[in-house]
Amino acid sequence: MSGSCGAGAADWRQGLPVLEGRITTVRELLPTDAASLFELFADPEVNRYMSPPPPSIDAFAGFVTWAQTQRTRGRLVCFGIVPSGLCEAVGIIQIRALDPCFALAEWGFVLGSAFWSTGVFEDAASQVLDFAFNTLKVYRLEARAVSVNGRGNGALQKLGATTEAVLAQGLRRDGDYYEQLLWALLADDWRSHESALRERFDLQTAKARVHEAIARIHPSDATATPGAEARPYPFYLTSGNTDE
């Protein structure tokens, strides 16, 4: 895979832009995000329907290293979701190419449970979808979500995606197999849907909910091992727990 074929592709391969939403900042993951993400993703409610997350803070730092390397090769982008009022990421949105030109891509996402139903995911996802369709030049964006994951499926539907297939035993997790739904969002569909989505966004309510969520969480003081080399740790998201 040689990366994106579109004009200006080299810019994002050198570093992801900072995307400013109304209640979030979406930016490339940093090694300093490892501790907060490890703590948040250790929640069984968060990781229940996704591939097992990195098992330690150092492994999460390795995931950040791996994701940045994949970005330089034009194969993947991974954004951290930072709500207004915080510095560390509390969720991620990952997009990986399914063809050499990034016209076909798959995305996955996960968000700390304290920020479910706050509007954080909707705000962050809107920024990343604009980037995917307008900068990466994605035409078709796919997602897989376990069929019993009502929250994740509801988020995809709210963003304008449609279900195209049922994937029997699509996810294996801890020895069990889960049925998944295959969702697709086309560039034209997103462009016709996004303005209505933005108009329905209740900014004042979202700000209040984010403020309450920040007051509830207690970020860990732990960090990745000082001086340790971050060994690459691939982490493919297969579904997301988000806000409805």
pLDDT digits (tens, 9 = 90+) for 63-116: 999 999 999 999 999 999 999 999 999 999 999 999 988 999 999 999 999 999
Which CA distances in Å does 239 have to 142, 195, 209, 219?
A: 11, 25, 24, 24
pLDDT at 147 over 80: yes
* Beta pairing partners, 38: none
Cα distances from 153 to residues 52, 150, 224, in angstroms, run 19, 5, 33
9-204 is classed CATH 3.30.750.200: no
Q: How far is CA 34 from CA 60, 77, 193, in A?
A: 5, 17, 34
Q: What is the pTM of this model?
A: 0.86
Percent pLDDT > 90 in the chain is 55
* Side-chain-side CA neighbours of residue 98 (13 Å): 13
Tell me the per-residue pLDDT of 170-226, one tens digit each, with 9 for 90 and over. 878 778 888 999 999 999 999 988 888 888 888 889 989 998 988 888 655 555 565
- Each residue of 34-56: pLDDT tens digit? 998 998 888 888 888 887 888 89
Contacts of 84 (CB under 8 A, 6+ apart): 23, 24, 25, 207, 210
